Structure 1
Amino acid sequence: MKLTILGGSSPFTASFFRHAAAPQRPLSEFDTVVLQGRDEQTLERLAHHGRALLGGRRPYVSHELDLDTALREADVVLIQVRFGGTQWRLEVEHACRSRGLFADETLGVGGLATALHCRDKWRELGQRISDVCPRAQVVNMVNPLSLSCQYFGETCSRLAGLCEGPLQAVHDVAGALDCGPEALDWRYTGLNHRGFLHSLRYNGHDVDMNHVVEVSPRLAELYDPKLQAIVSKEWWTGQARERWTYGRATAVASVRARLRDDLLDRRILTREVLELRPTPWYSLAILPFLAAWSGRTGAWVSTTNVLADGLTVERRSVVTRCQNSLIPDDYPTKDVGRIVDALTLHERRCLEAIDHPSRLAVEEALSLDPTIGYFNVELAAEAVSQLCPL
C-alpha cells in the first residue's frame, strides 16, 4: 500500500512520524509513504526524520516534488496543504482583530473568506487527484473542513474529512469514567467544529454527566446541561465574546518556523521541540483511521465529514479494511436538532456566497451564523471584502 501526504513539507509532519513510531505501529500495512510539497530541503529532512523514527521498519518514507508522480498508484492520499500559507492565516486574524470580530480560520469571517480564497485551488487539486488516482481513499484535513470537503468531494468519490475534536471529547469522558473509549456508546451530530456529543451510555446506562464534569474541568466548560450535550470547543468559544482570543496565528507561525529551523540544523527533532505545538489530530484521528483502513487494526468508530444530501456533515462512521461507512440512525436530541437545522441553513448560504460571491450574499450568510454570540454583520462583511474583494 502507498500513502501520499500532500503538504508533506509542513514541519508539523514530524509529529505524524513521532506518533506513527508508537509500539502499535499503525502504518505497518503500508509499504511506502511519499511526502509531497514545495520545499525540497524540508521534504528531504522530514523523510530522513520519518525513516529514523520508524527504525528501518515498514513503511519506507520518501519525498517527491512533482504532484502527479507522488499521486501515481496511491492507495490513500492525505491532504494537509495549507493553502495560502501561514501568511494568509495572519491576514485573516488581522482583518478580524482590527474590527473586534471573532478570529478563527474555520468559522465566521475566517472560514468564509478562506473558502472564497481557496475554492478554485481546492477544485483544481481534487481534479488532479481524481485524474491520477481515482480509486484512492482521500483523507482531508484542510480547514475550514466542511467547506473544503464540499469542493474536494465534487471529484473525489472516496473522501473522508477527519477532525480530532469529537474523539478528544469521547476520550475525555472515558478518562473521567476510568474506562476505554471503546466502552462508551455515544452519538454525535453537527457540522465540523460545530458539533454536539450526546446520548452517552456506559455499561447499558446513561452516563452521569454530573460526575463527569466534577472530574474533568475541560468537560465542565464544554458540557451544556440545557442541550444535554458536550459542545465543540469552537462552539463554546464563539458563543461568548469574553472567550475570544487573538494571536494564535502568530504563535503557530512562530512554532512552525522554529521547527523548520531545528529540522534543518539537526535533521531529527526532539520530543521537547515537537511538543511546542500539540498535534492530537494525528494520534486521535489520522493514524487510527489509517490503521483501521489498511487492516492493521479491527473496526474503528470515529466521526467523518462526508457529503449527505448535498452538504458536508460530520457523522459517526465505522472504518474497516478499505471501507468507511456511516452508522445509520444517528438522531440528535430535540434541542440539538434545532441548532443543527440553523447551522445547516447557514452552511448552505455560505456555499451560495462562495459559488456566487457578492456583498449581499456574504452578508446574508454571515447574518445566519448561530455559532458567534456577537456578530456585527456589516463589519464582518467588510472584513471578508478586504480579504477577498467581491
Structure 2
Amino acid sequence: MKLTVVGGGSTYTPELIDGFARLRETLPISELVLVDPAAERLELVGGLARRIFARQGHPGRITTTADLDAGVADADAVLLQLRVGGQAAREKDETWPLECGCVGQETTGAGGLAKALRTVPVVLDIAERVRRTNPDAWIIDFTNPVGIVTRALLTAGHKAVGLCNVAIGLQRKFAALLGLAPAELHLDHVGLNHLTWELGVRKGGPDGPDLLPELLARHGAAVAADLKLPPEVLERLGVVPSYYLRYFYAHDEVVREMREKPSRAAEVAAMERELLALYADPALDEKPELLAKRGGAFYSEAAVDLAAALLGDGGSPVQVVNTLNRGTLPFLPDDAVIEVPARVDASGAVPLPVPRLDPLYAGLVAQVTAYEELALDAALRGGRDRVFRALLAHPLVGQYDRAEGLTDRLLAHNEEHLPWL
C-alpha cells in the first residue's frame, strides 16, 4: 500500500508518522511519500520519519520529493495537510480582523475566509493532478477550512473525505473522564466542521445508552474549563459545544483577549523553529513531547482509521468525517458538507441518521452553511463583491461597514496569493 502526504514537510508530520508506525496492522503501508516544496524542512522531517519507522520496526519505505506528480503516482490515498502562505499568512489572518472588532482566527470568520480563498484553488489543482495521474486514489483532506475545502473537492467530482481531530479528541477526553475505553463511546457529533455539538455520548454504539447527562453532572465543570466557557452555559444547553463555538458564544470577550496577547500564529511559529531544531538531531527517533503543544492531537489515529476504512483493509466502520449532507440535516442542501458520524468503506462515506438539531443550533448551522457556499464561490471565481458578500453573510461579521473594512484588509494582505487581483 502506498500513501502520499502533501505538505509532508509540516512539523505535524512526525505525529502522523508515529501513528503509522504504531498502527501498522490496521494500515499496512509499504511506501510512504512526503511531498513538499520546502526542501530544507522536508529533509529534516523525512529524516526523523525514517528514524521513527526504524525504531518501531516498521518495514515500510519513506521517500521525500518536491515533485507532486511523481509523489502521487500509484498512491492508494493522498492526504492533504498544506498551509498556503505558511505561518506568515496565518499571523495576518489572526491580526487584521481585530482592527475591525472581529475575531482573528485562521479557520472561521474573516481570517478563515482569507485562508479558504488562498487554499481552494491550490487544493483543486493538486486534486486534478492526482486524478490525471491516479484517478482511483482517495483524497483525505485535513487542510483547513476543512468544510469548505472538502466541499470544493466533492463539487469538482473528486474522491474525497474531510477529516478533523475535534471529534476524536473529545471522544478520548470523555472516555478518560468516564473511565471507559475510547472505542466504547459513540458521539452524536452533529454540525459543520468547527461548528459542532455533542448531542449524545453513547456507550457501545449509536443505539447505546446516553451517558451525556452523567458526564455533565459529574464532570461539567472540567469540560467547561477546557472549552473556556462558564459551567452554567453547558448546564443550560445540556450539550457539549466544540471549543470553536466560543468564538460565537463569547465573541467580544475573545476579541479582547486576542488584542491583549501574542497571536497563536506567533506562538506556533516559535514552536516550529524549536521543533525543527529537534528534528535535526540525528539521535532523535521518536516524536518529541513539544509536538503535543503544536496541536492536532490524535490526528494520526483518525487518519489511520479513515484511510484503512476507505482502502478496504480495516478501520472502524463508523467514523466522524466531513462529507455530503444527502438529506441528513433536512434544513440544508444535499450538497452541503457536514461533519457527522458516517459509515465508511471502500465506496466512501455515508452519513448515519443523527438526532434532530435544536433550532438554537440549526439556525447557526444554516447561516454558516450559506456563508460557506458564498466563500466557495469567491474562492472559485474571485471578485471583491463576492468576498464582501461572504463576509456579510458570516455571523461573526454581519454588518456592512465591518464587511467593507474586512474586505479591504483581506485583499490587501493576500494580493500575492490571489491571482485574480
The alignment status of 1:166 with 2:170, answered yes or no, reads no
Alpha-carbon shift at residue 27 of structure 1 (Å): 6.1
Which amino acid letter does the alignment assign opposite residue 226 of structure 2? R
Partner of residue 299, structure 2: 282
Q: Match for 2:364 among 332, 339, 344? A: 339
Alpha-carbon distance in structure 1 between the residues aligned to 2:410 and 2:40: 35
Which amino acid letter does the alignment assign opposite residue 354 of structure 1? A
Aligned partners of 1:45 and 1:264 also within 8 Å:
yes
Return closer, same or farther for 1:251/1:71 CA change in 2, 3 Å cut-off: same
Return closer, same or farther for 1:27/1:34 CA change in 2, 3 Å cut-off: farther
Alpha-carbon shift at residue 149 of structure 1 (Å): 1.5
Which amino acid letter does the alignment assign opposite residue 321 of structure 2? T
Which amino acid letter does the alignment assign opposite residue 204 of structure 1? P
Aligned partners of 2:168 and 2:298 also within 8 Å:
no
Partner of residue 38, structure 2: 39
Gaps of 5+ in 2: 326-333, 416-420
Partner of residue 21, structure 2: 21
Return closer, same or farther for 1:263/1:357 CA change in 2, 3 Å cut-off: same
Q: TM (normalized to structure 1)?
A: 0.88
Partner of residue 256, structure 1: 272
Alpha-carbon distance in structure 1 between the residues aligned to 2:162 and 2:253: 30
Aligned partners of 1:161 and 1:305 also within 8 Å:
yes
The alignment status of 1:363 with 2:363, answered yes or no, reads no
Partner of residue 331, structure 2: none
Return closer, same or farther for 1:69/1:382 CA change in 2, 3 Å cut-off: same
Partner of residue 354, structure 2: 330
Alpha-carbon shift at residue 15 of structure 1 (Å): 2.2
Alpha-carbon distance in structure 2 between the residues aligned to 1:257 and 1:191: 33
Deviations for 1:255-299, whole angstroms, at most 9, x for unmatched residues?
A: 222222332354636623434424315234223323444566442
Which amino acid letter does the alignment assign opposite residue 352 of structure 1? D
Aligned partners of 1:102 and 1:238 also within 8 Å:
no
Alpha-carbon distance in structure 2 between the residues aligned to 1:314 and 1:235: 15
Correspondence list, 1:233-252, <5 A: 233-240=243-250, 241-244=252-255, 245=258, 246-252=262-268
Partner of residue 192, structure 1: 193
Aligned partners of 2:371 and 2:394 also within 8 Å:
yes
Aligned partners of 2:102 and 2:397 also within 8 Å:
no
Q: Partner of 2:280: helix, strand, or coil?
A: helix
Alpha-carbon distance in structure 2 between the residues aligned to 1:137 and 1:210: 42
Q: Partner of 2:278: helix, strand, or coil?
A: helix
Alpha-carbon distance in structure 1 between the residues aligned to 2:173 and 2:7: 30
- Farther-moved stretch of structure 1 (51-60 vs 141-150): 51-60
Q: Partner of 1:25: helix, strand, or coil?
A: coil
Return closer, same or farther for 1:81/1:354 CA change in 2, 3 Å cut-off: closer
Alpha-carbon distance in structure 2 between the residues aligned to 1:378 and 1:99: 10
Return closer, same or farther for 1:31/1:155 CA change in 2, 3 Å cut-off: farther
Partner of residue 238, structure 2: 228
Alpha-carbon shift at residue 302 of structure 1 (Å): 2.1
Return closer, same or farther for 1:186/1:282 CA change in 2, 3 Å cut-off: closer
Return closer, same or farther for 1:278/1:342 CA change in 2, 3 Å cut-off: closer
Which amino acid letter does the alignment assign opposite residue 259 of structure 1? L
Alpha-carbon distance in structure 2 between the residues aligned to 1:327 and 1:158: 16
Aligned partners of 2:318 and 2:344 also within 8 Å:
yes
Give the number of equivalent residue pairs: 388
Alpha-carbon distance in structure 1 between the residues aligned to 2:236 and 2:167: 19
Return closer, same or farther for 1:183/1:388 CA change in 2, 3 Å cut-off: same
Alpha-carbon distance in structure 2 between the residues aligned to 1:373 and 1:120: 26
Alpha-carbon shift at residue 142 of structure 1 (Å): 0.9
Which amino acid letter does the alignment assign opposite residue 76 of structure 1? A
Return closer, same or farther for 1:156/1:32 CA change in 2, 3 Å cut-off: farther
Q: Partner of 2:276: helix, strand, or coil?
A: helix
Partner of residue 218, structure 1: 226
Q: TM (normalized to structure 2)?
A: 0.82
Return closer, same or farther for 1:100/1:26 CA change in 2, 3 Å cut-off: farther
Alpha-carbon shift at residue 120 of structure 1 (Å): 2.4
State the identity %: 25
Return closer, same or farther for 1:170/1:344 CA change in 2, 3 Å cut-off: same
Aligned partners of 1:32 and 1:58 also within 8 Å:
no
Gaps of 5+ in 1: none
Aligned partners of 2:108 and 2:145 also within 8 Å:
yes
Which amino acid letter does the alignment assign opposite residue 18 of structure 2? R
Quote the RMSD (CA, aligned, Å): 2.8
Q: Partner of 1:153: helix, strand, or coil?
A: helix
Return closer, same or farther for 1:268/1:328 CA change in 2, 3 Å cut-off: same
Partner of residue 150, structure 2: 149
Deviations for 1:136-191, whole angstroms, at most 9, x for unmatched residues?
A: 11111111111112223344532111001122222222222211233234322211
Q: Match for 1:379 among 405, 408, 413? A: 405
Partner of residue 375, structure 2: 350
The alignment status of 1:207 with 2:218, answered yes or no, reads no
Return closer, same or farther for 1:352/1:157 CA change in 2, 3 Å cut-off: closer
